[in-house]
Amino acid sequence: MAKTVGGGKPNAKIMQIDAARVPHGGEVLTTDQGAVVANDQEVQRAGERGPALLQDFVFREKLTHFDHERIPERIVHARGTGAHGVFTSYGDASALTKAAFLGAKGKQTPVFVRFSTVAGFRGSPDTVRDVRGFAVKFYTEEGNYDIVGNNMPVFFVQDAIKFPDLIHALKPEPNNEIPQAQSAHDTFWDFVSSNHECAHNMMWLMSDRAIPKSYRTMDGFGIHTFKFVNAKGEYKFVKLHWKSLQGVQSLIWDEAQKIAGKDPDFNRRDLWEAIENGNYPEWELGVQVMDPKDEFGYDFDILDCTKLWPEEIIPIMPLGKLTLNRNVTNFFAETEQVAFCPANLVPGIELSNDPMLQGRLFSYLDTQLSRLGGPNFHELPINKPIAAINNNQRDGMHRMSVDEGTTAYFRNALQHGQPHLAARGQGLGDNESEVSGAVTRDRANSFLDFYTQPSLFFNSMSDHEKGHIIDALRFELGKCKNMNVRQAAVDLLAKIDGSLAHRVAEGCGAKCTAKEGYRASTASSPSLSMAARTPSPKGSKIAVLIADGFDKKCVDAVCEKLAAIGACPKVVAPRQGYISAKSGGGIDSADTFATAASVLYDAVFVPCGCAETLRKIYAAREFVADAYRHCKPIGACGDGKLLLADAFRAVVSTDDKPCDDKGVLTLGDCKGIEEFAESFAAMMSQNRHFERDQACLL
C-alpha cells in the first residue's frame, strides 16, 4: 500500500518508488538473476584447501557487484543529503505562468530535495565554510521540473566557460590535495583577487550564510533569471526564492570548526532527526517579477548572475509552500542517484540568456552521463517522472523500459504518425523570443560593475555580522602562504569598502591605502541581514546538564515548557543510564560529556541539586563555557548557578539576584520555577545573544 504525502490519496510518485523497493525479508537468498543460493559464505574450491574455481558464478557475481558499488561522486556538490516532500500551491498563478503545478490553490506536487556543500569530497564535514546547494525536483503532471539553486542568491562567475577555473582554484591544490573542503588557501584567493567578478559571492561566502546551523534554517535561491510564460504567450522575467519558515540561523565559526570534529554529519543528522520526529521543515516559494519593458531600467544587468534584485525594489510574490515530510529509504538509490538539471523545465517556465545558466544546461546533462552510466538515468526510480514518457529514444546503457512497436522515428506512416506532436504553443520552449547581434566573445559593459553590490551587501549587515565577515577574511587570508595573494585580496576589498579593507589588512599583515570611509555604494538592503529575521525555536536542541541528586521537579517544569514551543530538551550526564533525583525517581541519560558537546546544542540548562558534582567535571565546565562563548541562551537554578560562575566571567551570585549578562537567566531557588521556565522558553526565540559577541570572540 503506498504511503500518502500530506494526507489524501496515495501519491503517484511514491507509488512508483514503492514499486521499485526490495524489502529483503524472509525470502530465500538468490543471485541477481533470481537463482536460489544455498551457500555464499565459502567459494567453490578444488578440494577443501585447494584453489578457488573460476566457475563459481555466485562468488564472481557477489564480488563484481561489490567492486562496482561506488559510482563517481559529483565533481561539485558531492557531500549532500536529501528528503521527500510535497509542494502546495497558494493559488492560481495562471496570469503569470501556464505551469500546471501552480494553476490551482491547494494543488499538491511531490518533490525531492537535495542539500549539499560545493567544494568537499563525499566524506568531508557538513559544517565547512562553503556555498550550500539547494536543489528541488518537482514531479509534476507535465514532467519533472528542477530548481537547481544555492543558499546564496548570486554566483561567483558570470560565464560558464570560467566555471572549471573557479572549481580548480577552489578544490584542494593539485600538488598535495590540501586543504579539503576549504576556500582558505592560496589558489582560491589568487583566483578571486584576479577575477573581480567574484567579489559579490566572496562577500556572501565570508558571511554567516556560509555556515548555516541547519539545512532547515537556510534560504534557497534559483540564482539565475528565468521567464514565466502564460497561456497567451506573455512572459515576465523572474527570480526564484525559497524562504525558510524556520527562520535563517547560522553557526559561529569557532562552533562550526568544533562541530566538524565532534559530528561531521551535523547538518545531515539534524534534517533526518527533524523529519523522523515529525518536525517537518517548510519553505515558502516566491518570485520576483519584472516586466520585459523594465529590463534595462536598473543599475544592474538582470542577466548577470553575480547580481541580485534588491527585495526593497522588486518585492517577492509568494507562490506556495514546500514541506519535507519523509526521509529516504535508501541513501544511494535516492540521494546519490538523483539527477538534477536546470534544463528540466515544464511548459510555462523558460530560460533567459544568462551566460552562466546557458552553460549549465550542457554541463549538468553531461555530468549525469558520466556519473550514472549513460543516457537512461531518467529511468531510475528517483528520477522517473510521474508523467508518461512517450518518445522515440531507444536502447543505451542501463535501459529499463521494454519498448514495443516497429518504429522509433518521426515522421512515420507505419504507426500513423505516433507519438504525435503537441499543438503549437503547448510544448516546452515554444514561446518566441527575439535574438539579434553579432557573434562575439565580448562581455556586455553592463556586466562590468563588480563592486557596488558587494558594498551594498556589507552595508546591509548588522554590527556583529560585519564583525564575523572581518574575522572570516582574516582567517581565510591568514591561511594563504603567499603574501602577494593576501595583498591582492586586500586591494580587492579596498574597492568595496575602505574600512573593511583596513581591518582585514591589520589582521593578515597586508597594507591598505584606501580611505577608511570609502564605500563603493552607500545604499543598504535590510532584507539581506539575517538579524532582520526572527528564528523559530521549533526543533532547537537544549542540553539539560544533570548528575545524581538533581531536582526532578525543576527539570520537568523547564522541559515541559520547552517541548510546548517545539524545542527538544535532551539530558546530558556524567554517565549513560539511570540518573537518580534527590527526591526519588530519576531520568535515563543517553548522552554523556564524552559523547556530547555544547556545539551540538542550541542552549544549556543547569537545574539545582547537582552542581557540586558537575563542577568537578572539566567537560561540564567547558560545556557551559562554550555555550556562553557562542552566545547561546543559558539557564540555571539554585546551586546550578555555581557551574556558570566557574565557566565564564559572569556576575552570578548565590542569592536570588538575577544575572545581568545577556542571554543568561538564573533563579535563586526553584520556588518560582514555572515563571522561570516560561522566561527561558521565550528566550529561545532569539536563539543567539550577540550583545556578548565581541567579549567572547575577539
Query: What's the CATH code of the domain at 506?
Result: 1.20.1370.20
pLDDT of residue 29: 85
- Cβ atoms of 465 and 207 within 8 Å: the answer is yes
Residue 653 has pLDDT above 70, yes or no: no
The verdict on 565 and 647 lying in the same domain is: yes
pLDDT of residue 68: 86
Q: For residue 174, give Cα distances in angstroms to 171, 177, 187, 370.
A: 8, 5, 10, 22
- Residue 361, in any domain of the structure: yes
The answer for residues whose C-beta is within 8 angstroms of residue 628's C-beta and 6 or more apart is 634, 644, 647, 648, 650, 661, 664, 692, 696
Residue 21 has pLDDT above 70, yes or no: no
The verdict on 463 and 567 lying in the same domain is: no
The verdict on 232 and 325 lying in the same domain is: yes
- Residue 627, in any domain of the structure: yes
Last residue of a domain, one of 360, 379, 398: 379
- The stretch 348-359 carries a mean pLDDT of 94
Q: CA-CA distance, 83 to 557, in Å (whole number)?
A: 34
The verdict on 253 and 306 lying in the same domain is: yes
Going by pLDDT thresholds of 50, 70 and 90, the confidence category of residue 437 is confident
- The stretch 631-658 carries a mean pLDDT of 79
Per DSSP, the three-state class of 628 is helix
Residue 112 has pLDDT above 70, yes or no: yes
Going by pLDDT thresholds of 50, 70 and 90, the confidence category of residue 445 is very high
> One of 11, 144, 150, 151 is an active-site residue; which one?
150
Q: CA-CA distance, 75 to 167, in Å (whole number)?
A: 9
Say whether 378 is catalytic: no
The verdict on 546 and 516 lying in the same domain is: no
Q: How many domains is the chain partitioned into structurally? A: 4
- Residue 445, in any domain of the structure: no
- Residue 666, in any domain of the structure: yes
Last residue of a domain, one of 328, 353, 379: 379
The verdict on 123 and 269 lying in the same domain is: yes
pLDDT of residue 20: 61
Say whether 77 is catalytic: yes
- Residue 510, in any domain of the structure: yes
- The stretch 542-571 carries a mean pLDDT of 96
pTM of structure: 0.92
- Residue 260, in any domain of the structure: yes
Last residue of a domain, one of 320, 347, 379: 379
pLDDT tens string 321-334: 999 999 999 999 99
- Residue 269, in any domain of the structure: yes
pLDDT of residue 659: 63
- The stretch 634-638 carries a mean pLDDT of 95
The DSSP call for residue 505 is H
Percent of the chain beyond pLDDT 90? 75
Going by pLDDT thresholds of 50, 70 and 90, the confidence category of residue 1 is very low
The verdict on 219 and 324 lying in the same domain is: yes
- The stretch 172-189 carries a mean pLDDT of 96
Q: CA-CA distance, 544 to 51, in Å (whole number)?
A: 60
Highest mean pLDDT among 265-269, 365-369, 426-430: 265-269
Cell of 75: 565533481
pLDDT of residue 69: 86
Going by pLDDT thresholds of 50, 70 and 90, the confidence category of residue 2 is very low
- Residue 321, in any domain of the structure: yes
The verdict on 63 and 152 lying in the same domain is: no
Q: CA-CA distance, 453 to 476, in Å (whole number)?
A: 21
Cell of 78: 558531492
In which domain, by residue range, is 631 found? 541-697
Q: For residue 296, give Cα distances in angstroms to 114, 300, 304.
A: 35, 8, 12
CATH code for position 613? 3.40.50.880
Residue 167 has pLDDT above 60, yes or no: yes
The verdict on 328 and 365 lying in the same domain is: yes
Cell of 607: 537545574
Per DSSP, the three-state class of 670 is helix
The verdict on 353 and 223 lying in the same domain is: yes
Averaged pLDDT of the chain: 91
The verdict on 586 and 519 lying in the same domain is: no
The verdict on 553 and 514 lying in the same domain is: no
> One of 11, 77, 144, 383 is an active-site residue; which one?
77
